[in-house]
Amino acid sequence: MLKRMFLALAVLSIIQISPLVHAQSKKSAQDPVAAEFPYQYYPENLPDPALAGYFPKTWTTYASSQGRNAVFSIPQNAPAVLRNGVDWKFAGAGAVSLDGPPVNNSILTTAYGIGMPVGASVVNGIAYIGSDNGYTYALNAVTGKLIWAHYGWNMNMSNPLVAEGRVFVSTGSAYFNYANTMLYVKGKRPTRGPGLNSLYALDARTGKEIWAYHFAGEAMPTATYETGFLYIGTGDGHVYKIDAQTGKPKWISDIVSFVSMSSPVLNRKYVFLGGTDPNYFYALDKKTGKVAWRITIPKLVATGMGDCTPAYAHSIVVQEATVETGDPRNPVANVLLGLDANTGKIVWQKKFPKGPVPPAMKTATPMIADGKVFEGSPVTGDYFAFGLKSGRELWKVHLGAQIRAGAALADGVLYVPYKSGDIAAIRVSDGTLLSNRHIGGAFGPSSPVIVGGTLYVSNIYGWLLAMPVSEITGTPTASLKISSNP
């Protein structure tokens, strides 16, 4: 099955979509190259400093924290516009109507061409979002107006990081070219991701490029920032520790496995992430890059361990994978693992119901809060809650369509976007489905962000959306209380 995946992706690489173009700025009109891929900056759209101060100050990892619950409270005396929530929609270059069909009636073509698959980072009054059309956008988080746009020459599937006054974004494609497919067929080591694969440092206010580091393979996962360094795994089978000021590597660790979309998570000692071919989940020493431990499980399919972004809390790392079932009618199932962070020992594992093969046999993003793990199944469309320490299933709710996103938990309610273009509101105490708001388009692995009364979420039809949380649940959010965010 893994070989079939490589061959299919090789065919896709031949028909890879060209980046779509945003409106030209006056400055770029005189330069043919800049006119095609313009850098844009509109300082008049920068946020009001009086409002910006209520937002998070940094964004250092996927979904802002190791537990992946991107929820931020604001004081009761904050301006009403922030407490009540803002409402706007931003269409990136090439975005298609939320109530229309996908491009060429293909979700994959749409997602890989114009989608905003992974989600926004909302810092200092600015919402930063990456798009598979190649752009990173910075938007006023209150008004939705464009502040700047930077073009990265490849797909941007990363959750922009914000630290040291800079934005860090990574780029790369999901494809294998013909040469690398043939290497795999011959039993040799392939590299995933043709094209220019990069990690960029941009000025957070203006979007101007400060430095770029280029990789041999794709850099689709979100990096993780800590104390002046960035950690990222790539499609060339390496994990990198890069100086955030200079863009130069501190160490490069060869794990052989290519990293698909497994954005690393850190604890005091280790970098945790998953890799494919061979399929392992790794812990690397943060100081040296040496592999401390690695684990695998039987019957992994496709990108296996390398596709899921893990979550971490209380010395447990949570990772999802997809396995074969042996049932021709329902050939795959998702498996959720709770791992001892120090040893790699499997503390518990849960095999979800089996079902049909989802697109590219993907996994979902786990989220940890209040001593519980929340996770969806791309195979069956079920959403689960488990005890973090025990792995005991607490409840299950059937949403029906593929679930790849993480969740945001606030005021005892989980907000879960999923493929049908809906956002579900689930009562965390018992799994009751409180409401289900249809937005349109489709949601991929985009974890939602809540700041005060506003929920921010991106859509694979090419949109970033901001909406009052109260419009999903019908409940005022002025007294928002967040769940513990490890």
pLDDT tens per residue, range 200-257: 999 999 999 999 999 999 999 999 999 999 999 999 999 999 999 999 999 999 999 9
Separation between Cα atoms, residue 156 and residue 339, nearest integer Å: 30
What is the residue-wise DSSP string for 412-451?
A: TEEEEEETTTEEEEEETTT--EEEEEE-SS---S---EEE
Using the predicted structure, report yes or no on whether residue 476 has a pLDDT greater than 60.
no
C-alpha atoms less than 13 angstroms from C-alpha of 408 in its C-beta half-sphere:
30
Token pair 């289900």 is found at: 436
Using the predicted structure, report yes or no on whether residue 117 has a pLDDT greater than 70.
yes
What is the residue-wise DSSP string for 342-371?
A: TT--EEEEEEPPPBSPPGGG-----EEETT
- Supply the DSSP symbol for 300: B
What is the residue-wise DSSP string for 110-165?
A: HHHHH---S--EEETTEEEEE-TTSEEEEEETTT--EEEEEE-SS---S--EEETT
* Strand pairing report for 126-130 and 316-324: unpaired
Note the pLDDT of residue 359. 73
Domain 2-473 has CATH 2.130.10.10: yes
Note the pLDDT of residue 361. 63
- Supply the DSSP symbol for 101: P
Using the predicted structure, report yes or no on whether residue 21 has a pLDDT greater than 80.
no
Average pLDDT, the chain: 90
Q: Are 417 and 457 in contact (CB under 8 A)?
A: yes
* Strand pairing report for 311-313 and 291-295: unpaired
Note the pLDDT of residue 35. 63
Rg of the chain over all Cα atoms, to the nearest angstrom: 21
Token pair 């995946």 is found at: 5
Using the predicted structure, report yes or no on whether residue 16 has a pLDDT greater than 60.
no
Note the pLDDT of residue 121. 98
* Strand pairing report for 146-151 and 40-41: antiparallel
Note the pLDDT of residue 479. 39
Using the predicted structure, report yes or no on whether residue 10 has a pLDDT greater than 50.
no
Q: Greater confidence, 29 or 276?
A: 276
**7: helix, coil or strand?**
helix
Using the predicted structure, report yes or no on whether residue 34 has a pLDDT greater than 80.
no
**Using 50, 70 and 90 to split pLDDT, how confident is the model at 32?**
low
Task: Give me the percent of the chain exceeding a pLDDT of 70.
Answer: 90
How many other β-carbons are positioned within 10 Å of the β-carbon of residue 331? 18
CA 89-94-95 angle, to 5 degrees, is 35
**Using 50, 70 and 90 to split pLDDT, how confident is the model at 30?**
low
Report the DSSP beta bridge partners of residue 236.
Answer: none
Q: Give rounded-to-5 percent helix, strand, coil for the chain.
A: 15, 35, 50
Per-residue pLDDT, averaged over 91-98, amounts to 96
Note the pLDDT of residue 9. 40
Note the pLDDT of residue 237. 97
Note the pLDDT of residue 11. 34
The encoded tokens of residue 348 equal 């518990």
The 3-class secondary structure across 187-222, one letter per residue, is CCCCCCCCCCEEEEEEECCCCCEEEEEEECCCCCCC
**For residue 372, which phi and psi values (nearest 5 degrees)?**
-125, 155
* DSSP strands (E only) in 262-388: 265-266, 270-275, 280-285, 291-295, 311-313, 316-324, 332-340, 346-351, 367-369, 372-376, 382-387
Separation between Cα atoms, residue 264 and residue 242, nearest integer Å: 14
- Supply the DSSP symbol for 390: T
Note the pLDDT of residue 47. 98
pLDDT tens per residue, range 148-170: 999 999 999 999 999 999 999 99
pLDDT tens per residue, range 388-426: 999 999 999 999 999 999 999 999 999 999 999 999 999
The encoded tokens of residue 484 equal 């513990």
Q: Are 200 and 152 in contact (CB under 8 A)?
A: yes
Note the pLDDT of residue 482. 42
**Using 50, 70 and 90 to split pLDDT, how confident is the model at 371?**
very high
| pTM score of the predicted model | 0.91
Using the predicted structure, report yes or no on whether residue 15 has a pLDDT greater than 50.
no
**Using 50, 70 and 90 to split pLDDT, how confident is the model at 6?**
very low
Task: Give me the percent of the chain exceeding a pLDDT of 90.
Answer: 84
Can you say whether the dihedral through the CA atoms of 195, 199, 204, 210 is positive or negative?
Answer: negative
Note the pLDDT of residue 228. 98
**Using 50, 70 and 90 to split pLDDT, how confident is the model at 302?**
confident
Using the predicted structure, report yes or no on whether residue 193 has a pLDDT greater than 50.
yes
pLDDT tens per residue, range 258-272: 999 999 999 999 999
Can you say whether the dihedral through the CA atoms of 284, 249, 191, 36 is positive or negative?
Answer: positive
Token pair 């976007």 is found at: 417
In the chain, where the domains are located: 2-473
Q: At what angle do helices 2-14 and 178-185 cross, to 10 degrees?
A: 160
Separation between Cα atoms, residue 139 and residue 317, nearest integer Å: 33
Note the pLDDT of residue 8. 43
